[in-house]
Amino acid sequence: MQLPGTLIEGKYEILGKIREGGMGTIYRVRHRLLDEIRVVKVLKPQALSNEEMKRRFIEEARTATRLKHPNIGTIHDFALDEEGKAYLVMEFIDGVNLADLLKRQGPPGIALSLEVAHQSLLALGYLHRKNVVHRDIAPDNLMLSQDEERKPVVKLIDLGIAKTLDRPGEMTSTGVFLGKLKYASPEQFGSLPAGEKLDGRCDLYALGVVLYELLTGVHPFVGESPSELLRAHLFDPPLAFSRTDPDGKVPPEVREALGKALQKRREDPSSSVFLIPMTWTTRPRSSRSCEGLAPPPPSRHRASRTGSTGSSSPPPRLTLRGIRCCALSAKRRRKSSVRHASPRRARPRSTHNL
């Protein structure tokens, strides 16, 4: 166990342990020369127990350090010595992961949930255009922070099992499971036909599961054991919103969109056209914000590029940018109906706009 005050390579001073997992321990550190707070993940010896695993670690780390996006936690550096000791140096994010957020206060509300989904999709779109699949999208790998204007900022973290699609040869065979059972897509359980590979659609399925949980506080698939969860992902439909959202807080458009996101077969045509006739370019100018949240750049949402393994792009399961549009549209319709149903009171004219 590394104690506070211990130095890593003479330049990273350990300030304290953040948490410990199956693959390693994460510490909060200070870069002594730059005087910056960062995070170091020290891998356990068994995580790199043979030469193949060491080779994979180096390749994965090299890929991760080249990924630069405002919604992805930056990996600054990595090391692997002759004794097999390895660590990653990552950006320190002053925030909370979504798993802890759900435990502390429950579902965060529709507006924030869809903003989380939108920014997460921006991160995934960037990864998939770089031919990288995350494969471990889950609430504890999505950090929620805020910028200087106190607007929400989402960061996708833990690229430790991210896989580059364009390298020759498979780094992980279809039969080897990586990821979290509760959020894994059916194809991650080995259901892919021979010759096909995992692509970005497995990340989009997992993001759909996360969004369902953020909106309702309930996981869409029921299973008390790993085998039951596996069966639910492979064969069972997600829990009906009539059970998990009896008050109807989740707009119908979002319900329909999530149903399409959680299709079992990634080739299903209903998962390739993900609802949403509206786009940011066609919405009225006055509705292009959500409680101070800025609209997404129009070039960032092209989910048709996600997960490409060849010359043609596979159909997307998800365009969550459109879900956000539909949620806001439904919210405006509800407010409009209330306004028309109630008598209008005369308001004094303000001189601030004259």
| 131 touches 165 (CB < 8 A) | yes
**CA 71 to chain centroid:** 9
Enclosing H/E stretch for 86: strand 86-91
Edge-to-edge order in the sheet of strand 142-146: 96-97, 142-146, 152-156
DSSP 153: E
Q: Characterize the bridge pairing of strands 86-91 and 36-43.
A: antiparallel
d(CA 29, CA 13): 5
Residue 290 CA to residue 328 CA, distance in Å, equals 7
Among the listed residues 81, 100, 136, 147, the single catalytic one is 136
CB burial readout 89-108, b (16+ within 10 A) else e: bbbbbebebbeebbeeeebb
| Per-residue CA distances from 225 to 52, 69, 187 (Å) | 32, 37, 19
183 in Cβ contact with 210 (< 8 Å): yes
d(CA 83, CA 222) in angstroms, rounded, equals 44
* 236 included as an active-site residue: no
Helix (H) or strand (E) holding 26: strand 24-31
Distance CA 111, CA 290 (A): 7
Write out the catalytic residue numbers.
Answer: 136
